[in-house]
Amino acid sequence: MTFEELNIIDPIAQALKKKGYTSPSPIQEKAIPFLLMGRDLFGCAQTGTGKTAAFAVPILQMLHKKEEQSGKRPGIKALILAPTRELAIQIDESFRDYGKALTLTHTVIFGGVSQSKQTQALRRGVDIVIATPGRLLDLMNQGFVKLDKVEFFVLDEADRMLDMGFIHDIKRIIPKLPAQRQTLFFSATIPNEIKSLADSLLKNPLQVQVAAVSAPAEAVKQTVYYVEKGDKNALLHMVIEKELIKHALVFTRTKHGADKVAKELNRKGISAEAIHGNKSQNARQKALTGFKNRTIRILVATDIASRGIDVDKLTHVINYELPEIPETYVHRIGRTGRAGESGIALSFCGSEEIDNLKDINKLLPKNIDVAATHKFPVGIKNVARPKPGGGGGQRGGFRNSNNSGNSGNSRNAHPARRRF
């Protein structure tokens, strides 16, 4: 199926094609036709399933058609709430990319920065606002935001809103919206409080559930390096130089770890910045902008801070430390190998991370390939064996300290206003 077959208007379809999107994802294929009919939606979907386009495309199309029929009318017509600044910015960029041939306007609102540019954009008037709840509520209280003209309301990552304590802010925002509106509700999980909130917001919704991502794109080549913790910095430098890596996203488990890795890379002459929750919003956005425009070679991120990082033609993702949740590995490496491009995912596994690797391999169709001999082998053996049919050779097992090959057995693996 193509986007044209979903009755997407040509300006948006062409913009999607320029981004490399030719076929809709499952959630887009299921949701877009119903949203164009004006239905409410309850979507159970995680990041990486294509849900942003699933709501951005129909909202842009419906607002554009109304503008053509009735002319430009003042007031915010679509409100999208997101839990983090990074995700709000990413959604804003998606609206920009998909609607670049349209005359609709939008802005993104988030805290941690001066509100002056945001209030200037609101004074000039925008059609679409993407916001985090706290800053939006603050600007509403100051009189800069009125929501009485909103026709489309999107609540994205509702379960994460709950985890971050934003539900009370959301419950203060909702009464300011018109009763007659189209509401789109997205959550990766459905705890009781989220179900209750959805039931109170949605009218006869279409329910779309997309299975959790359980396998990375086939275009991503995966390799694991067995290396002790104390040798990871040296191995990272060696891999970047040996593989001539020009642009990579490196994941660590902690904020402190991200800072240490970035500092060590800079000490060795490799431009790097860390991005995590302890950084100011200006510092985070500056680092992300530098990474996107290639002035920063390596971006070191924690999983939470990485939400919303979507960089075109990213060639490498490096797991400096393996995640404790196997699905997180899939989401991490899904930042590369997008839109028809190939990608490479490299992972460093220390002796204390063996169980994490086993859990990741259980999730994958086949075990991750093991890197050939390198300068920093671990002194552990007999810890893992390839899955039956998993490719044999070095898949899935630690090399012993004399690099004599795969060994052993494993247990059974189971900003400002923008014009489009």
Query: Domain total for the chain?
Result: 2
* Rounded Cα distance, 290 and 287, in Å: 5
**Virtual torsion, Cα 383, 388, 391, 395, nearest 10 deg:** -10
Lowest-confidence region among 131-145, 194-208, 332-346, 366-380: 366-380
The answer to whether residues 226 and 196 belong to one domain is: no
The answer to whether residues 37 and 91 belong to one domain is: yes
* Rounded Cα distance, 218 and 222, in Å: 10
pLDDT at 50: 82
Place of tokens 């206003």: 417
State the residue range of the domain holding 303: 220-370
Q: For residue range 83-110, list pLDDT tens digits in order.
A: 988 889 989 999 999 999 999 999 999 9
pLDDT at 306: 64
Six-digit token string for 225: 């390096």
pLDDT at 393: 35
Average pLDDT, the chain: 84
pLDDT at 389: 42
Q: Is residue 8 part of a domain?
A: yes
The answer to whether residues 139 and 238 belong to one domain is: no
Domain limit, last residue, from 370, 386, 408? 370
Q: Is residue 383 part of a domain?
A: no
Q: For residue range 194-206, list pLDDT tens digits in order.
A: 889 999 999 999 9
Question: Could you give phi then psi for residue 257, rounded to 5 degrees?
Answer: -65, -40
Taking the whole predicted model, whether its pTM rises above 0.85 is answered as no
pLDDT at 350: 92
pLDDT at 222: 94
Mean pLDDT, residues 129-150: 96
The answer to whether residues 63 and 155 belong to one domain is: yes
Q: Is residue 248 part of a domain?
A: yes
The answer to whether 40 touches 205, Cβ cutoff 8 Å, is yes
Rg, Å, the chain Cα set: 23
Whichever domain contains 241, its CATH number is 3.40.50.300
Q: For residue range 321-358, list pLDDT tens digits in order.
A: 998 888 788 888 888 877 667 899 999 999 999 999 99
Six-digit token string for 127: 């059609």
Q: Which residues contact 148 (CB under 8 A, 6 or more apart)?
A: 75, 176, 178
DSSP character for 151?
A: -
